[in-house]
Amino acid sequence: MTAIDIATATTPTIPARTSRRRGLLRQLIDSKKALAGLILLALFALLALLAPVLAPGDPSLINSTGSQAPSAAHWLGTTAKGQDVLALTLWGARSSLFVGFTVGLVATGVAILVGLASAYFGRIVDDALTLVTNIFLLLPGLPLLIILAAFLPPGTSTVILVLVVTGWAGSARVLRAQAKSIRGKDFVAAAVVTGERPLRIMFREILPNMASVVMTTLLGCVIFGIGAQAGLEFLGLGDSSVVSWGTNLYWASNDGALMTGTWWAFVPSGLCIALVAFALALVNYAVDEITNPRLRSRRARRERRG
Amino acid sequence: MRLILRNLGFYLLAFWASITLNFVLPRFMPGDPVSRMFAQAQGTMQPDQIAQLRKLFGLDDRPLWEQYVSYVKSVFTGDLGISITRFPTPVSDVIGSQIGWTLLLGGVALVIAAVLGNLLGIVAAWRRGGVLDSAFPPLLIFVGSFPYFWLAMGALYLFGVSLGWFPMRHAYDVGLTPGFNGEFLSNVATHLVLPALTIVLVSIGGWMLGMRNTMIATAAEDYITMAEAKGLSPSRIMFRYAARNALLPSVTNFGMALGFVVGGALLTEVVFAYPGIGYQLLMAVQGLDYPLMQGIFLTITAAVLLANFLVDLVYVRLDPRVRVR
């Protein structure tokens, strides 16, 4: 735990100014990395929303002979059972993105609450919350996920719940560190002296000043959510009746797609997960670079100055 | 010394939390998973063995605190119940026979990824704007975006099924008798290549980026400028001055990464049917073998906690600032 304190002490604090925050959005669009990431994300969101239009009907319907290579009729071929892989991938985006972003939002929400409460109240509250956070951080994630999912009744809500339980702690630690450094600033002390209520100070004074950190943890949580959901479902611990990228991979592996050489059954879903995670990571990387000047490359720094 | 004791207390607390979680889960979960398990096991078990299992899962009528005390006691005496899928082997024997493979796979992958990743990070930070610095991070982030198990599937398909370079499943060929001879060891090594490679591939990016970022911060320190002013050779400054100090966070990460590797190895083991405890955990889940599931979870947790404790000990040696506090 002392190691943590050292780490937080060296984290550069971000100057808290409102003009800076408006700048963040514009800088994000300016950054090529972030722009590419945002476009990719928008594309996937669009595909997920338009799935009923692009591939009407139930995607798990068997409407062809099995294990067909990609062709004009089935752009991405068919599974061993004879389902259209393109339709499965498009519909899979809905569940995967929904679960991923829900997990990200809820987990970040929990992390914000824990982090802010820790930083604002300090003392016993801080000690207790930090202890709980560290225990969750230390317990091995995937095995914990598996035994939780094995005991709970299967379903999408179980998947979300389990992922939130295992995913919030890392963000909480980062947010606590950031909130703690802002808690020590004069304007917070001023707010306390003027008698503002604790909730108002936490959410109106401290939270807006750590927007960029919240953003990076949110993106990190979404990446975690999408990947962990896929992993859970690949192991057969999700709801195998729902079409998602994870269940697509589960069925592909169960039907022996690897051994029979039907690569098109497992490549698209995995690629989609990777692309979404990559897009999120790109945006994350850009936010990091914008808010932490030392990480910017020299060239970019010179350009910005000139 | 106080720090070590404090952390030891914390690890014990974490272990207690996971034991308690194990105790609570089968007793308070909706849908009663345990009775499903009993319905399945009814035919193969002796009545007294079922009675023992009922006790383990709190289906007897003792008060809750009494059950709790006896549960904790049985965990610390190593009695984790009897496996149902591998009936009638005790859970601890099942785990003991397979944990070696997990340690081998996870350990090899972790050491390679950490050493290689840190080296790449050092060089990338030292040559800011070079090929390694500008091209590698995005590439590694991209590779790291793939789900562990999917990359493993791809590697298995490419190198195992299509090209046939590496064996596709298990830790060694069927028919070989385990022993310390060249034939067996090389067979184990060829079986290890693909699973370990996939883990290294996805985890190396994190090491490299972390190291790069701390190196950049360290390179701005005054003592680096001082070393340059003294006219020391660049490689000496890079390794003996900058990297040495930037390595500290990586040591902490090493402890953290152990948990991550056990998790990652779990999925890899499943894909390659590698006979470690991760693969066994999945088998247990599919066979509704709750005693084995819980036993494996506890074992992994204990291993991770122990590893973190060892890292703490090392850290105290490495960072004098910790000792002063």
d(Cα B237, Cα B241) in Å, to the nearest integer?
Answer: 5
User: Poorest-confidence range of A167-171, B36-40, B90-94?
Assistant: B36-40
Q: How confident is the model at residue B295 (pLDDT cuts 50, 70, 90)?
A: confident
Task: Give the predicted TM-score (pTM) of the model.
Answer: 0.79
Region of poorest pLDDT, from A139-148, B23-32, B302-311: B23-32
Between A2, A259, A282, which is nearest B3 by CB? A2
With cut-offs at 50, 70 and 90, classify the pLDDT of residue A112: very high
Higher pLDDT, A3 or A187: A187
ipTM, interface predicted TM-score of the complex: 0.76
pLDDT of residue A137 exceeding 80? yes
Which of B23, B143, B149 is the best residue to mutate to test the A interface, defined by the most A CB atoms within 10 Å of its own CB? B149
- What mean pLDDT is predicted for residues B205-218? 83
Contacts of A1 in chain B (CB under 8 A): 6-7, 10
Q: How many other CB atoms sit within 10 Å of the CB of residue A25?
A: 10
At residue B6, does pLDDT exceed 60? Answer: yes
Q: What one-character-per-residue DSSP string does B49-83 give?
A: HHHHHHHHTT-SSS-HHHHHHHHHHHHHTT---B-
Instruction: Give the pLDDT score at A1.
Output: 37
Q: Which residue of A has its CA nearest to B161?
A: A259
Residue A221 pLDDT more than 70?
yes
* Cβ-contact B117, B206 below 8 angstroms: yes
A65-69, A180-184, B63-67 — most confident range: A180-184
Per-residue DSSP letters for B249-272? HHHHHHHHHHHHHHHHHHHHHHHH
Residues 240-299 of A with CB under 8 A from B: 249, 253, 258-259, 261, 263, 266-267, 269-270, 273-278, 281-282, 285, 294-295, 297-299
Which helix (H) or strand (E) segment holds residue A86: the answer is helix A85-121
B148 in contact with A at a CB cutoff of 8 Å?
yes
* Chain A contact present for B216, CB below 8 A: yes
Per-residue pLDDT averaged across B278-292, rounded? 83
Kindly list the residues from chain A whose CB atom is less than 8 angstroms away from the CB atom of residue B29.
151-152
- B282 touching chain A per CB within 8 A: yes
B266 vs A contacts (CB less than 8 Å): 142-143, 146
- The verdict on a CB contact (< 8 Å) between B134 and A297 is yes
Of A134-148, A272-286, B151-165, B277-291, the poorest mean pLDDT is in: B151-165
Q: Which amino acid, one-letter code, is at B30?
A: P
pLDDT value at B238 more than 60: yes
Residue A300's pLDDT is 52
Q: Is B213 on the interface with A (CB under 8 A)?
A: yes
In this complex, is the C-beta atom of B130 within 8 Å of any C-beta atom belonging to chain A?
no
Which pLDDT score, from 0 to 100, does residue B176 have? 65
The whole-number average pLDDT for the span B9-27 is: 84
Could you say which of B13, B217, B256 has the minimum Cβ distance to residue A135? Answer: B13
Asked whether the beta carbons of B26 and B34 are under 8 A apart, the reply is: yes
pLDDT more than 90, % of chain B: 0
Answer yes or no: is pLDDT of A75 > 80: no
Whether pLDDT at B148 is above 60: yes
Cβ-defined contact of B129 to A297 (cutoff 8 Å) = yes
From residue A160, give the alpha-carbon distance in Å to each of A106, A145, A247, B195.
9, 11, 15, 29
So what's the pLDDT on residue A6?
A: 40
Q: Which of A59-63, A201-205, B290-294 has the lowest mean pLDDT?
A: A59-63
The answer for residues whose C-beta is within 8 angstroms of residue A303's C-beta and 6 or more apart is none
Confidence of residue B141 (pLDDT cuts 50, 70, 90): confident
**Average pLDDT estimate for A266-270:** 85
Cβ atoms of A76 and A265 closer than 8 Å: no
Question: A138, B149: Cβ pair inside 8 Å?
Answer: no
pLDDT at position B35 is 66
Question: Mean pLDDT of all residues in chain A?
Answer: 79
- Stretch (H or E) spanning B300: helix B290-318
Most confidently predicted of A25-29, B65-69, B103-107:
B103-107
Q: Which of A8, A135, A142, A291 to mutate to test the interface with B (most CBs of B within 10 A)?
A: A142
Distance CA A244, CA A236 (A): 12
Stretch A79-96: mean pLDDT: 82
> Is A270's CB within 8 Å of B142's CB?
no
Q: Determine the average pLDDT of the residues in B248-274.
A: 76
Measured distance CA(A253)–CA(A249) in Å, rounded: 6
Distance from CA of A71 to the nearest CA of B (A): 22
Greater pLDDT, B45 or B106: B106
Indicate if the pLDDT at residue A24 is higher than 90: no
Determine what percent of chain A is predicted with pLDDT higher than 90: 8
**pLDDT band of B59, cuts 50, 70, 90:** low
Residue B201 CB coordination number (10 Å): 19
pLDDT of residue A107 exceeding 90: yes
Give yes or no for A128 touching B (CB within 8 A). Answer: no
Q: Do B128 and A134 touch (CB under 8 A)?
A: no
A227-230: long-range contacts at Cβ-Cβ below 8 A with a sequence spacing of 24 or more?
A227/A273, A227/A277, A227/B147, A228/A103, A228/A141, A228/A142, A228/A145, A228/A163, A228/A166, A228/A167, A229/A96, A229/A99, A229/A100, A229/A103, A229/A159, A229/A163, A230/A96, A230/A269, A230/A273, A230/B147, A230/B150
User: Is B224's Cβ below 8 Å from some Cβ in A?
Assistant: no
pLDDT at A109: 93
Tell me what the mean pLDDT of segment A49-58 comes to.
78
| Range 140-179 of A in CB contact (< 8 A) with B | 140-144, 146-148, 150-153
- pLDDT of residue A252 exceeding 50: yes
Q: Residue B51: is its pLDDT beyond 60? A: yes
Confidence of residue B190 (pLDDT cuts 50, 70, 90): confident
Q: Is A151 left (phi over 0), alpha (psi -120 to 50) or beta?
A: alpha
Please state, in angstroms and rounded to a whole number, the distance separating the CA atoms of residues A228 and A163: 7
pLDDT at A111: 92
B252/A3 CB distance under 8 A: yes
Residue of B nearest to A140 (CA): B259
